[in-house]
Amino acid sequence: MSRLVACKVALAARIDSFHESSNGEQGIALFNEIKRRLDKLQQPPPVKAVKPLPKPIESRKTRGGRRARAMKVKYKVTELRKENNRMMFGKV
């Protein structure tokens, strides 16, 4: 991007040295373009949106058996816990 600005500056200098534009239209146009590009170079880069990671693919299947059944029984939600988790609507 800065190379493009340098080229425009060199072109403006050549036009000025050879007196090609008597009323200065080309010089003003190049000056405005150079100014616009320099302003664009000084701006901070846009902030990238943070994307959440996708849900991992569950590739490993758990097998059943005596140990798996024992774990289910051990960590099963009890009736008391079910009652605590219920929300009563209309009551404070």
Q: Angle at Cα 6 formed by Cα 19 and Cα 33, nearest 5°?
A: 70
Q: What is the pLDDT of residue 11?
A: 81
Q: What is the pLDDT of residue 59?
A: 67
Question: Could you give the CA distance from residue 21 to residue 27 in angstroms, rounded to a whole number?
Answer: 8
All structural domains of the chain with their residue ranges = 2-42
pLDDT tens digits, residue range 13-54?
A: 788 777 776 787 887 888 888 888 889 888 998 888 888 888
Q: Is 1's pLDDT higher than 60?
A: no
The pTM of this model reads 0.41
